[in-house]
């Protein structure tokens, strides 16, 4: 068993991701997106998400029912509302699902504005104001905070949210950064991962494992809300070598490296 390197770890980039839910026949389904092979983590299936952008901090007047004070109380950081904004924006850019409310939130407008947003012709805050929209922030339930291991060359400090798919909307991947999308139960994804058909990053795997036994969207949301109310701890995994294979270990594991760099 070998510990992580002593070199200075790169600073993790703030990011947000959303586990998007809908009802299935036997269990709730989650939207899984396949990243392009040349993306940061390679050819893996993930939840929609990405890094915070400057525009995410400019939505105070259209943030919905969760304002900056409430968001800060939930996430424990001063710019917490930016994460809610980034979560909704990334879901919209990557899937076309708009977690916002307003009279102009029609599918035709969503599709056109999504293309403009992706091309950089429109910023997120401009879109919300032009279309008189406000974030459906009450749909986003904060349930986890994962930080990329220190040994990785590119690192992220990611806040995980749970949300349900709005009834009148459908999801579609963007076709560039994302090459595939599918709705699957947590158990189905884990089975595919074990069979080698789907690759997962560890936080995604742990989320799916935690909710695999829950049989309804309501039960998964209750699980997420309970974690949100109980307080979400920051989790920094480490990657060690065990019997010639890389293994992920969490704080509290006796194999977890004693030296933590950041």
Where the chain has pLDDT below 70, the residues are 1-7, 36-42, 103-110, 174-177, 259-262
Q: In this predicted structure, what is the pLDDT of residue 4?
A: 43
Rounded Cα distance between 26 and 36, Å, is: 30
Cα radius of gyration rounded to whole Å, the chain: 18
Could you give the C-alpha distances from 156 to 3, 21, 235, in angstroms and in order? 21, 23, 12
What is the SS3 assignment for 13? strand
Rounded Cα distance between 85 and 125, Å, is: 9
Domain boundaries, the chain: 13-249
Rounded Cα distance between 83 and 69, Å, is: 13
Alpha helices in 35-158 (DSSP H): 68-75, 80-95, 107-119, 124-130
Upper half-sphere CA count for residue 118 (Cβ side, 13 Å): 19
Q: In this predicted structure, what is the pLDDT of residue 41?
A: 61
Q: In this predicted structure, what is the pLDDT of residue 109?
A: 60
Rounded Cα distance between 250 and 158, Å, is: 16
Rounded Cα distance between 123 and 175, Å, is: 20
Tokens of 50: 């990405």
Rounded Cα distance between 138 and 102, Å, is: 14
Rounded Cα distance between 131 and 19, Å, is: 26
Going by CATH, does the domain composed of 13-249 fall within 3.40.50.720? no
Upper half-sphere CA count for residue 95 (Cβ side, 13 Å): 31
Q: In this predicted structure, what is the pLDDT of residue 232?
A: 97
Q: Model's pTM, two decimal places?
A: 0.91
Q: In this predicted structure, what is the pLDDT of residue 104?
A: 55
pLDDT in tens, 92-146: 999 999 999 886 555 546 678 888 898 899 999 999 998 889 999 999 999 999 9
What's 152's DSSP letter?
Answer: S
């Amino acid at each position: 068993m070998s510990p992580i390197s002593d070199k200075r770890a790169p600073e993790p980039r703030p990011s947000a991701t959303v586990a998007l839910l809908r009802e299935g026949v036997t269990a709730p389904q989650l939207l899984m997106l396949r990243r392009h092979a040349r993306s940061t983590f390679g050819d893996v299936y993930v939840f929609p998400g990405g890094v915070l952008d400057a525009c995410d901090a400019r939505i105070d007047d259209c943030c919905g029912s969760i304002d900056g004070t409430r968001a800060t109380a939930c996430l424990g950081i001063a710019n917490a509302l930016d994460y809610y904004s980034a979560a909704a924006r990334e879901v919209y850019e990557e899937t076309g699902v708009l977690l916002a409310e307003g009279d102009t939130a029609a599918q035709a407008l969503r599709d056109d504005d999504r293309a403009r947003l992706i091309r950089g012709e429109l910023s997120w805050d401009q879109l919300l104001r032009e279309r008189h929209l406000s974030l459906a922030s009450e749909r986003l339930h904060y349930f986890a905070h994962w930080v990329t291991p220190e040994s990785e060359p590119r690192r992220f400090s990611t806040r995980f949210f749970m949300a349900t798919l709005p009834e009148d909307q459908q999801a579609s991947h963007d076709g560039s950064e994302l090459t595939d999308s599918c709705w699957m139960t947590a158990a189905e994804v884990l089975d595919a991962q074990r069979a080698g058909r789907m690759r997962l990053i560890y936080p995604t795997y742990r989320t799916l494992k935690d909710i695999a036994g829950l049989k309804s969207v309501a039960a998964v949301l209750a699980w997420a809300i309970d974690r949100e109310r109980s307080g979400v701890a920051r989790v920094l995994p480490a990657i060690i070598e065990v019997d010639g294979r890389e293994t992920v270990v969490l704080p509290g594991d006796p194999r977890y490296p004693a030296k933590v760099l950041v």
